[in-house]
């Protein structure tokens, strides 16, 4: 089962020997920093990198009707997992 924000804050507080309130503030600030810096690529060392990618226009299909439709180009946010994280988890 995935960890909740409360569980993550508890783990951080215990590991760093700080209060849960301080750990929650650190987590919140890290989140704000990631959102702000994602435009230029935000690297979370040892975990991965947030990057904005331009997705090209393409032809798609409406699954309900089978009709071919044009899907416009757009920017999307992607997370690239670090090699070290892949090796540690897999």
pLDDT of amino acid 1: 85
Specify whether the CB–CB gap between 56 and 73 falls below 8 A. yes
Is residue 61 within 8 Å of residue 69, measured between CB atoms? yes
The tens place of each residue's pLDDT in the chain, 90 residues long, gives: 899 999 999 999 999 999 999 999 999 999 999 999 999 999 999 999 999 999 999 999 999 999 999 999 999 999 999 999 999 999
């Amino acid at each position: 089962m995935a960890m909740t924000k409360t569980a993550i804050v508890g783990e951080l507080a215990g590991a760093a020997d700080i209060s849960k309130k301080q750990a929650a503030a650190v987590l919140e600030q890290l989140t704000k920093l990631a959102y702000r810096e994602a435009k230029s690529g935000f690297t979370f060392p040892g975990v991965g990198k947030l990057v904005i990618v331009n997705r090209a226009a393409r032809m798609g299909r409406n699954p309900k009707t089978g009709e071919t439709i044009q899907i416009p180009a757009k920017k999307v946010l992607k997370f690239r997992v670090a090699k070290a994280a892949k090796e540690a988890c897999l």
